[in-house]
Structure formats: structure tokens, C-alpha cells
Structure 1
């Protein structure tokens, strides 16, 4: 037995590993192959497309994150309003939430974000998955997230993209997706949103290249309907940049996207 041998049998090791990664609710999708191959390819194609044509990514199939996200305001609990179906959320029957807690160094600089995803299974029991997010750009709008066990997070796999595609100025509603258009989540600080807000965010998702026909509404205990007619939760069109950018580009597709 050399120094790299383990007392845990291979089968037990794999079972433990799958248990930790499989329960991830995947509001942030921590799939190694998905993040290392699919996203890298999409990112390259997107960069080439925007560089060569100047066309807003919202009109193509490559999404665009918002200009800036204040992660201090973004932290806290969010309710999942809707999502695309995906394997790692197949047991999430209702009450899906994501909570983000910031980790800072002694100087106050952000190091990482603790991610806690919870949901209720069909039998009424709760599931919880803990992950870690790190900023992938300087503006806070793109992060890399992993739900792998902490002792193997140094591996160059298992990290997924988390892009904020739309965000109202009061940080009450958000649209989050992956740059390959495979997954998207609509989030809110409350378990319900107005029909107006829901339709607005659906339109943003469509403009960003997502197939909105795949959206599934998430139910929450104690709430008869997730989407309500009352407009008391609407963001009043004061969303963070992307809506106006997309509308401007549609009117003049020859204009290049600019940052505010």
C-alpha cells in the first residue's frame, strides 16, 4: 500500500462522491463535462460572433450578462419562480430556494460566495446542497459555481457558469442562465411575481436565445399561484441595462453594444 492508497473501497468512494454532487439542486448546474466543454465552445463562438459582426448577443444565441451586479445587494435568499427542466433538479417538486452568503477577506474584498440550494421532494422531505461561487469577471455579473465536495474543489472540473441576464434595480427579481442556452432560472425575493414581470423576463430570455417553451413554473407551499395578476411586484421596467440594450439593437442592428 503506497501513500496514495485509501481505506475506503472504490465503490464506497464513488457512492459518497455521487451523493454530494447529485443532490445539488443545480440552480447553478455543477456538471464537469457541461462546464468544461460546452461552455468553452460557446464562449469561443460568441466572442467570434460579436467581434466579427458587432451584433448584440441578445439577437443571436449567445446570451449577454448585465453590465454590473452589486453582490452585496444580490446576497440573501431568492425563490425560484421558473426554470428549464434538467436532470439534477428532477426531484425538486416545490419550494426551491437559493441563498447566497458572501465571504470577504480582512480588507473587505470579496473572496467567494457560499451557495445553499434547498427544495422539497414529492414526499415532503427537504433537500439541501451547498456550493461555492467565485467571480468570473470584474463586474459581478458572471460567476463560476461548484457543488463538488470541498476537498476536491481544486480540480479543474465541476465548475459551471452562472450569468445574471436581467436584474431589476431594486434587486427583487433576476434572470439567471448558462451561456449555452441550455438552462435558465427566474428568481424573486418573494415566492410570487406579477404576470407583467413574468412576461417581461420571458421576453428577455427569448431575446437572449433561450427556448421559453421549456419554462416550468415552480410552486411554493402556502402560495396558491406563483404568477399573480396583481402588478405589485413588477420592476417598473427599471431593469439593469439588458432590456434597453436589446430594444436599441433591434431598432438598429448595425449598432454595436455599448456599456453604460
Structure 2
């Protein structure tokens, strides 16, 4: 019985590290180039971001490995900034863009970059563990329509419900 409890506990903690079958992480990923500020351009909405505007994330190197993650967004109803602090580490190899991110202690979830401007690291398409989690991030608060169109087309092709996308006000 004890083994079953341990197995279930491990599954609960690590169970969100997968990714949708249609999503494959970028290879030849360079975390040092990804660090810094990224603005949220579009997302599938969730309770932890509901109603937030001007959303952005900062990725800051940790001493030993991984990155600190600081997500901020402005709540126009409360007229205040919301912030969540977390940390992220690679699930496998450090050159494959599949990370595990945690904002709640030992509970991690997948952060999968499935498309990236590899030349300049100016935009990234990010998935979570299921087709319910999707973000378009960019180094600037706005992007060319061509990037948005590419994001929508690739996301739709992978099975995301692009009709539900929210475009973030900055």
C-alpha cells in the first residue's frame, strides 16, 4: 500500500511534465539567449491570468542551473499589478526547449517552446502540458501581423483552439 501511495504522489508531482502529441520542442535551444524579458502577445485564458493586461515574464539565471521566472500582469479592475515568482529547469537535455516550471513548491508543469525565432530570439510559441495552454511571447509588446498569423496557423494545425485566443492589451 505504501508503494502505491508513493507512486501516486510521484505521478501527481511529475504528471504535468508531458506535452501534447502534436507539439515537439525546439532543438538547438540556447537558454542564455532566451533569458530576459518576454511580453505576452496572445494566450489561451486561465484563471491565473484572467483579466490581466500588460503581461510579461522575466527569465533570470539561477546560480547553479535553470532560471528564475517572474510573471507580472496588470489587473485593471483592481488597479494593481499581480506577480508570480517561480523557477524553471530543463526536463532533459539543455539544448531542447522543454522545461519544467514551478510557481507552487514541488509542483511542476511543462513549458514547451515549439517555435522560436532562432536567429534573433524575438518571438516564441509556447505550450503547456495539454492543448489548453498556449502563449505567443515576444521581446516587444507588439509584433508584426505575419508573426501572429504564423502563430495561429501553427497552433491550429497542432490542435489548439485558436478561436479562444486572447490578445493581450499593452
Q: TM-score normalised to the size of structure 1?
A: 0.56
CA distance in 1, matches of 2:129, 2:22: 6
Aligned 8 A contact 1:62 1:179 in 2: no
2:87 to 103, 126, 132: 132
Matches for 1:36-51 after TM superposition, within 5 Å? 36-37=14-15, 39=16
Counterpart in the other structure of 1:160: 109
2:148 to 173, 191, 198: 198
- Equivalent residue, structure 2, for 1:25: none
Q: How does 1:1-260 map to 2 (within 5 A)?
A: 36-37=14-15, 39=16, 61-92=21-52, 94-105=53-64, 111-122=65-76, 123-138=78-93, 139-148=95-104, 153=105, 155=106, 158-169=107-118, 170-220=120-170
Give the Cα–Cα distance (whole angstroms) in 1 for the partners of residues 14 and 143 of structure 2.
34
Q: Which runs of 5+ in 1 are unaligned?
A: 1-31, 47-60, 106-110, 221-260
Distance in 2, matches of 1:89 and 1:187, equals: 14
Alpha carbon RMSD of aligned pairs, Å?
2.0
TM-score (norm 2): 0.84
In the TM superposition, what is the alpha-carbon distance from 1:202 to its structure 2 partner?
1.1
8 Å contact from structure 2 (residues 25, 96) kept in 1: no
The structure that has the greater radius of gyration is: 1
Q: Is the 8 A contact 1:63 1:181 kept in 2?
A: no
Whole-angstrom CA distance in 1 between matches of 2:92 and 2:157: 23
Give the strand-richer structure, 1 or 2: 2
Q: Which has the larger helix fraction?
A: 1
How many pairs align? Answer: 157
Could you list the runs of 4 or more consecutive aligned residues of structure 1 that deviate by over 4 angstroms after TM superposition? none
Distance 1:87 1:161 in 2: 17
